[in-house]
């Protein structure tokens, strides 16, 4: 491989000749051969968007030469559109604060801008990664800001629509299943009757509840520390830079980002990210419960509960012919486990911040964006390939309901709890229905027993 020689404060570095990145990125590649996982492309695109807004603000303030600024802005736009994707090579587990990722952006943007201006890559006299591309910025305020931009956008454009779609699908099933009365269950034991539609309305409401929590926590990401530079004081940024940069950012994103009420608090403590991670974990707990219920209610097909038919999406066994598993519910369970673990990583990273900066932002950003991506995709797939096609096994629900011993609860007002308990016990021991035992015991006439044991009356 042909190389070009670049120099930095630590000495000379051999960089691949055709690379758009430079010495600091090359050092990071050599130092952080950790996971093989590159920084999320959505994060890189958002960082380029911020760099473009910063260049516009610096040009408006008269600090950045317009010719350089326009070339920088063009390079940023290309990166936002997915160009030069292979140039972003830094591992997600890297030096603290995300300096390596910031410099990866600065170097790629600078070298592309140099090329646009007719120069040769590595000739930083034309456009400099630090002096020009990183003007008025620090990793400490920009990386944090990009976490907010990329996470907020992913929540608004991917996760919330997926959650709303699932909520609507569950609500549709709640309506279509309203006529079906089935055995309720508590402690995994038979309980008094419930409508299948009522059960599904509980799932619908659960998704609605956590969706609102996600939306509320994401809204806190609109407050950004842009312009705080190294420690929040705004050194080297200029008085008007912050407002102009945020205005440019809002023009580009279409969202309403604003400066943090306390930029020092924001830079010291990624509390907004912690809140979002918490709401993602809460969502996963709720969604995991729904997936578990579907697996239980569809268990069988002959020897389980078997009250739901889940869509059959693939064969379920390499050894047992004809076996079909609840694959989409199992997938969602695993996604939820991963998101809960990611959220725990975020919690520890946020708690490990010290003094003026939390340096663990790279792992916070990675876990947030990874969680939002897999949760968005997992929910969407679960809805399309499971919820939309769910059918009720009305024969099984009717048979189970007939043999539900807990229906004796409806006789309490007529015969008292202790007599009802005796009937329930006898029904259990004999395998007969509550109605049959009540008639045998003569606790009331047949019409009255039927009236009290009427499932419609009980739900």
Q: How many whole angstroms from its chain centre is CA 316?
A: 28
- For residue 124, give both structure tokens: 């930083």
Task: Quote the radius of gyration of the chain (alpha carbons, Å).
Answer: 30
Pairing assessment for the beta strands 391-392 and 308-309 based on DSSP bridges: antiparallel
CB 393 within 8 A of CB 318: no
Whether residue 220 lies in the annotated active site: no
* Residues in contact with 93: Cβ distance below 8 Å, sequence separation at least 6, in sequence order: 32, 34, 35, 37, 362, 363
Whether residue 148 lies in the annotated active site: no
What does DSSP assign to residue 395?
A: H
Helix (H, G, I), strand (E, B) or coil at 170: helix
Quote the CA–CA distance of 399 and 394 in Å, as a whole number: 8
Q: From the candidates 12, 35, 209, 317, give the one annotated as an active-site residue.
A: 317
- CA dihedral over 316, 317, 320, 326, signed as positive or negative: negative
- In Å, what is the CA distance from 389 to each residue of 173, 268, 310? 10, 48, 7
Quote the CA–CA distance of 76 and 88 in Å, as a whole number: 13
Quote the CA–CA distance of 306 and 296 in Å, as a whole number: 8
Burial 97-122 (b: 16+ CB within 10 A, else e): bbbbbbbbbbbbbbbbbbbbbebebb
Q: From the candidates 187, 279, 284, 376, give the one annotated as an active-site residue.
A: 187
- For residue 246, give both structure tokens: 């945020």
| Token pair 């997600």: residue | 92
Quote the CA–CA distance of 293 and 302 in Å, as a whole number: 18
CA angle 65, 69, 75 (to 5 degrees): 155
DSSP state letters, 249-308: HHHHHSS--EE-SSHHHHHH--HHHHHHHHHHHHHHHHHHHHHHHHHHHT--SSSS---E
* Residues in contact with 271: Cβ distance below 8 Å, sequence separation at least 6, in sequence order: 220, 265, 350
Across the strands, what pairs with 357?
Answer: 354
The count of other CB atoms within 10 Å of the CB of residue 45 is 20
Helix (H, G, I), strand (E, B) or coil at 224: strand
What is the end-to-end Cα distance of the chain in Å, rounded? 75
The residues assigned a catalytic role are: 187, 317
């Amino acid at each position: 491989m042909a190389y070009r020689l670049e120099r930095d404060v630590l000495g000379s570095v051999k960089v691949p000749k055709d690379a758009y990145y430079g010495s600091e990125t090359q050092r990071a590649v050599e130092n952080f051969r950790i996971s093989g996982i590159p920084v999320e492309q959505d994060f890189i695109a958002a960082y380029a968007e911020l760099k473009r807004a910063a260049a516009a603000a610096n040009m408006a303030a008269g600090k950045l030469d317009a010719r350089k600024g326009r070339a920088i802005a063009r390079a940023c736009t290309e990166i936002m559109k997915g160009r030069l994707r292979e140039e972003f090579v830094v591992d997600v587990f890297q030096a603290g604060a995300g300096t390596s990722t910031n410099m990866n952006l600065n170097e790629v943007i600078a070298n592309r801008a140099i090329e646009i201006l007719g120069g040769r890559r590595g000739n930083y006299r034309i456009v400099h990664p630090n002096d020009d591309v990183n003007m008025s910025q620090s990793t400490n305020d920009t990386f944090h800001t990009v976490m907010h931009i990329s996470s907020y956008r992913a929540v608004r454009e991917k996760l919330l629509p997926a959650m709303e779609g699932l909520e609507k699908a569950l609500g549709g099933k709640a309506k279509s299943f309203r006529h079906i009365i089935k055995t309720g269950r508590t402690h995994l034991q038979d309980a008094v009757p419930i409508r299948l539609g009522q059960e599904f309305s509980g799932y619908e409401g659960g998704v609605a509840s956590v969706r609102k929590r996600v939306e509320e926590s994401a809204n806190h990401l609109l407050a950004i520390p842009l312009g705080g530079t190294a420690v929040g004081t705004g050194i080297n940024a200029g008085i008007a830079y912050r407002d102009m940069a945020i205005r440019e950012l809002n023009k580009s994103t279409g969202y309403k980002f604003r400066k943090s009420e306390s930029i020092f608090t924001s830079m010291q403590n990624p509390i907004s990210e912690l809140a979002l991670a918490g709401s993602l974990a809460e969502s996963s707990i709720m969604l995991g419960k729904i997936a578990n219920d579907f697996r239980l209610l569809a268990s069988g097909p002959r020897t389980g509960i078997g009250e739901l038919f889940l869509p059959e999406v693939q064969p379920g066994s390499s050894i047992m012919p004809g076996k079909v598993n609840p694959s989409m519910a199992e997938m969602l369970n695993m996604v939820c486990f991963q998101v809960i673990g990611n959220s725990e990583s975020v919690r520890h990273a946020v708690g490990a911040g010290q003094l003026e900066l939390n340096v663990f932002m790279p792992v916070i950003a990675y876990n947030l964006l990874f969680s939002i991506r897999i949760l968005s995709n997992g929910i969407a797939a679960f809805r399309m390939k499971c919820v939309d096609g769910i059918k009720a096994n009305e024969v099984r629900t009717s048979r189970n309901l007939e043999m539900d011993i807990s229906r004796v609860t409806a006789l309490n007002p007529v015969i008292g709890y202790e007599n009802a308990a005796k009937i329930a016990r006898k029904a259990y021991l004999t395998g007969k229905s509550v109605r049959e035992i009540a008639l045998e015991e003569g606790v009331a006439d047949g019409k009255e027993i039927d009236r009290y044991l009427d499932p419609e009356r009980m739900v």
